[in-house]
Amino acid sequence: MKWFLILWAGPIALLGSWYGLSYYDMSFGIFMLTRDAHDLVFRIYGHILGIPPESIPPLVLRAIIFDSMLVFALIAFRRRKKIAAWWQARRQSSSRAALASDESLSSAP
């Protein structure tokens, strides 16, 4: 599971950092981080896909959000017993705290 998360988060972090640095033209002397390279990459992808280049980033963001939801659902499914035990313990501790506060209020003069 650890490798699954690493292999999921690594490309997202790499893509996000490239997009952010190239969008704001923080190139540090590297051509791939310039705004010209940013625009060129999206023009090429837009030409290949047959859509306007400015519509690609929102589509990528939606895909990342959808994939992230699937990954977190898979993690939750695999750890459902631990989550259920944590939830039960939390409910019991909150009900005990509510009972204790009710008892302290009823014993007040």
Q: At residue 52, what are phi and psi to the nearest 5 degrees?
A: -65, 140
- Cβ-Cβ contacts under 8 Å for 64 (sequence gap 6 or more): 12
Please give the pLDDT value at position 30.
92
User: CA-CA-CA-CA torsion for 20, 25, 26, 28, nearest 10 degrees?
Assistant: 130
Please give the pLDDT value at position 91.
86
Interatomic CA distance for residues 67 and 39, integer angstroms: 25
Question: pLDDT tens across 73-91, in order?
Answer: 998 898 888 888 888 888 8
Closest CA to 21 of 8, 37, 33: 33
pLDDT at 104 over 70: no
- Cβ-Cβ contacts under 8 Å for 56 (sequence gap 6 or more): 42, 45, 46, 49
